[in-house]
């Protein structure tokens, strides 16, 4: 019997997350989160693979920018398409196709004979990454009992960071190998195949099934993921919400009721990127190099950054349902601002200071990463999957995700140019200013969603009683 008592919080929620009775929902969350691993691996591997691919295929920094950029552009398109397929053909089959595309495109990148073919393969790969980036948290949040939803959905972020860490380690381990970049890129096919196979065996989400009128199947799934006493209530809530909605037209996203929600999610999407997280993830080795480390040492330090990144995502799983989304978001964003100010200060000093205190720079980056991983990292993906009304959840998440990838593209693409234009310190000060703006916005506009069913959240937004509240009355 799954332990999903609505009142479970704090330590009991943590225990529940690892409890035997939650094994089924835990297992399907792990399978779905392979999508997060793909996302992370491809995000991390290109920074290392690029160095060797550039030599082997004879391209320069412009080519390097395009191997990164092609994936990001593919991710924007993939997110757009998946917004439609996740509603029309299900979260499950969208993720299955994403895994297949990923496997094929990873092999395509590995065997690419020219820069153009490499960029084309990376664009197609981006399609799968863009899909996985939001359909994975969406799938998990729709399967999880509310008391576990934060932790289980945050698990997707753990897998993203694990993918990044494995990519850094692979880059480090394959340093001296001939055609190493082909192996680095080709390895991505393994998790792609694992995801595709895994998605065949997991069930559809009950919310999607209800939306398609397959109520009996939805009940069957809820019986396996929720405790028996909560199944009927949960199903009633899902049905209530599903029945009260009209067809999901794209323009409904801009209706007066949805617009404020969409604006908050889009803001989370944009802020997640404009505080500069991917400058560290994509250019970690370069930034560490700015601090005075030699190339070999920088690659090693980057692995430590990857470990911190991953470790704090793990800590977030434990904290998410205990502390709540909002406090983590506020504290973590403030931490990111401190890390950025410290980095700005470090780069403002002359190179003599920097070379004498490289540990200062590295510690600032680590602090910044840790703060991101307990806040904006997981909270953005979690909150976009928690808050949109069921009928338009796919499209609304896709829109927020497209903003996220678009700003990811701009921030990463222009990072090196910015460091030349306004200086390394100026670049990090600028991100810090964005961080202060983010903090003020979150304080005023982002509500707590911990321990509430997706339908309760939705009912509150519409100013109605939820099914559960009515039942209790
Ligand atoms: C972000 C990615 C980022 C990753 C780092 C994710 O939540 O969306 O852009 O690379 O976290 O861990």
Distance 405 CA to ligand 1 centre (A): 10
What pLDDT score does 466 carry? 42
- Within 6 Å (CB) of ligand 1, which residues are found? 43, 157, 160-161, 164, 272, 277-278, 281, 309, 377, 381, 408
Which is the closest atom of ligand 1 to the Cα of 313?
12
**Distance from the alpha carbon of residue 281 to the mean position of ligand 1, in angstroms:** 8
Q: How many angstroms is it from 406 CA to the middle of ligand 1?
A: 13
Q: Which of 353, 394, 317, 315 is nearest to 149 (CA)?
A: 317
Q: How far is the CA of 43 from the centre of ligand 1 (A)?
A: 8
- What is the percentage of the chain residues whose pLDDT exceeds 70? 90
With a cut of 70, say whether residue 467 has pLDDT above it: no
Which pLDDT value is given to residue 402? Answer: 96
The 10s digit of each residue's pLDDT in 113-123 is 999 999 999 99
Q: CB neighbours of 411 closer than 8 A, spacing ≥ 6?
A: 273, 274, 276, 278, 279
pLDDT, tens only, 393-402: 788 889 999 9
Output the pLDDT for position 472. Answer: 38
Instruction: Give pLDDT tens digits for 416-460.
Output: 889 999 999 999 999 999 999 999 999 998 888 787 777 776 666
Q: What is the pLDDT of residue 468?
A: 41
465 has a pLDDT exceeding 60: no
C-alpha to C-alpha distance for 268 and 300, rounded to whole angstroms: 32
Q: What's the gap in Å between 377 CA and the centre of ligand 1?
A: 6
> Which mutation among 75, 168, 281 tests ligand 1's pocket best, with the greatest number of atoms within 8 A of CB?
281
Token readout for 417 is 């140019």
CA distances, 352 to each of 346, 348, 390, 420, 430 (Å) = 11, 11, 57, 20, 24
Pocket test for ligand 1, best of 126, 161, 277 (most atoms within 8 A of CB): 277
Q: Which residue lies with its CA nearest to atom 10 of ligand 1?
A: 278
pTM equals 0.88
Q: Measured in angstroms, how far is the CA atom of residue 68 from the centroid of ligand 1?
A: 15
| Structure-derived torsion over alpha carbons of residues 233, 236, 242, 244, reported in degrees to the nearest 10 | -110
Q: Please determine, for residue 212, whether its predicted confidence score (pLDDT) is greater than 60.
A: yes
At 327-362, the pLDDT tens digits run: 999 999 999 999 999 999 999 998 889 989 999 999
Residue 256 confidence (pLDDT) above 80 = no
Ligand 1 midpoint to CA 133 (Å): 9
pLDDT tens digit sequence for 65-101? 889 899 999 999 999 999 899 989 999 999 999 999 9
Q: Which residue has the higher pLDDT, 37 or 43?
A: 37
The label of the residue with tokens 């977030």 reads 316
Structural domains of the chain in order of their starting residue, each with its CATH number: 11-202+248-472 (1.20.1250.20)
Q: Whose CA is nearest to atom 5 of ligand 1?
A: 161
Question: Phi-psi region for residue 58, left (φ > 0), alpha (ψ -120 to 50) or beta?
Answer: left
**Three-state SS string across the chain, please?**
CCCCCCCCCHHHHHHHHHCHHHHHHHHHHHHHCHHHHHHHHHHHHHHHHHHHHHHHCCCCHHHHHHHHHHHHHHHHHHHHHHHHHHHHCCHHHHHHHHHHHHHHHHHHHHCCCCHHHHHHHHHHHHHHHHHHHHHHHHHHHHHCCHHHHHHHHHHHHHHHHHHHHHHHHHHHHCCCCCCHHHHHHHCCHHHHHHHHHHHHHCCCCHHHHHHCCCHHHHHHHHHHHCCHHHHHHHHHHHHHHHHCCCCCCHHHHHCCCCHHHHHHHHHHHHHHHHCCHHHHHHHHHHHHHHCCCCHHHHHHHHHHHHHHHHHHHHHHHHHHHHHCHHHHHHHHHHHHHHHHHHHHHHHHCCHHHHHHCHHHHHHHHHHHHHHHHCCHHHHHHHHHHHHCCHHHHHHHHHHHHHHHHHHHHHHHHHHHHHHHHCHHHHHHHHHHHHHHHHHHHHHHHCCCCCCCCHHHHHHHHCCCCCHHHHHHC
pLDDT of residue 12 exceeding 90: no
Mutation probe of ligand 1 site: the residue of 134, 158, 160, 413 with most atoms within 8 A of C-beta: 160
Kindly give the distance from the C-alpha atom of residue 282 to the centroid of ligand 1, in angstroms, as a whole number: 10
């Amino acid at each position: 019997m799954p332990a999903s008592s609505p009142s479970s919080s704090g330590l009991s929620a943590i225990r529940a997350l690892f409890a035997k009775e939650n094994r089924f929902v835990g297992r399907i969350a792990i399978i779905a989160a392979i999508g997060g691993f793909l996302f992370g691996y491809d995000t991390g591997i290109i920074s290392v693979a690029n160095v060797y691919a550039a030599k082997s295929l004879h391209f320069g920094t412009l080519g390097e920018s395009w191997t990164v950029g092609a994936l990001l552009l593919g991710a924007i398109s993939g997110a757009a398409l998946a917004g439609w397929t996740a509603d029309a053909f299900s979260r499950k089959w969208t993720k299955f196709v994403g895994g297949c595309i990923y496997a094929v495109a990873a092999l395509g990148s590995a065997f690419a004979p020219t820069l153009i073919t490499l960029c084309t393969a990376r664009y197609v790969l981006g399609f799968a990454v863009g899909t996985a980036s939001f359909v994975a948290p969406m799938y998990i949040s729709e399967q999880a009992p509310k008391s576990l939803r934060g932790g289980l959905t945050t698990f997707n972020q753990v897998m993203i960071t694990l993918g990044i860490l494995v990519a850094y380690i692979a880059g480090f381990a394959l340093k001296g190998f001939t055609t190493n970049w082909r192996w680095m890129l080709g390895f991505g096919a393994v998790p792609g195949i694992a995801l595709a196979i895994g998605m065949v065996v997991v069930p559809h989400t009950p919310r999607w099934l209800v939306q398609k009128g397959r109520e009996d199947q939805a009940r069957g799934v809820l019986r396996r993921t929720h405790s028996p006493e909560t199944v009927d209530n949960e199903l009633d809530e899902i049905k209530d919400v599903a029945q009260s909605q009209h067809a999901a037209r794209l323009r409904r996203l801009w209706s007066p009721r949805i617009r404020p929600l969409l604006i908050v999610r889009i803001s989370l999407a944009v802020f997640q990127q404009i505080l500069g997280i991917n400058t560290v993830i994509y250019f970690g080795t370069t930034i560490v190099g700015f601090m005075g480390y030699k190339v070999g040492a920088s690659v090693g330090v980057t692995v430590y950054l990857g470990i911190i990144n991953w470790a704090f995502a793990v800590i977030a799983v434990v904290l998410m349902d205990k502390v709540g989304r909002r406090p983590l978001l506020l504290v973590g964003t403030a931490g990111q601002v401190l890390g950025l100010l410290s980095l700005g200060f470090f780069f403002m000093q002359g190179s003599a200071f920097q070379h004498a205190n490289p540990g200062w720079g590295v510690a600032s980056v680590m602090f910044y990463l840790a703060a991101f991983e307990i806040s904006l990292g997981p909270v953005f993906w979690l909150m976009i999957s928690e808050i949109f009304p069921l009928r338009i959840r796919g499209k609304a998440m896709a829109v927020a995700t497209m903003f996220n990838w678009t700003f990811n593209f701009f921030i990463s693409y222009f990072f090196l140019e910015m460091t030349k234009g306004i200086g390394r310190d100026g670049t990090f000060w600028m991100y810090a200013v964005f961080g202060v703006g983010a903090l003020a916005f979150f304080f005023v506009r982002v509500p707590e969603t911990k321990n509430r069913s997706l339908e309760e959240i939705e009912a509150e937004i519409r100013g109605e009683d939820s099914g559960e509240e009515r039942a209790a009355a």
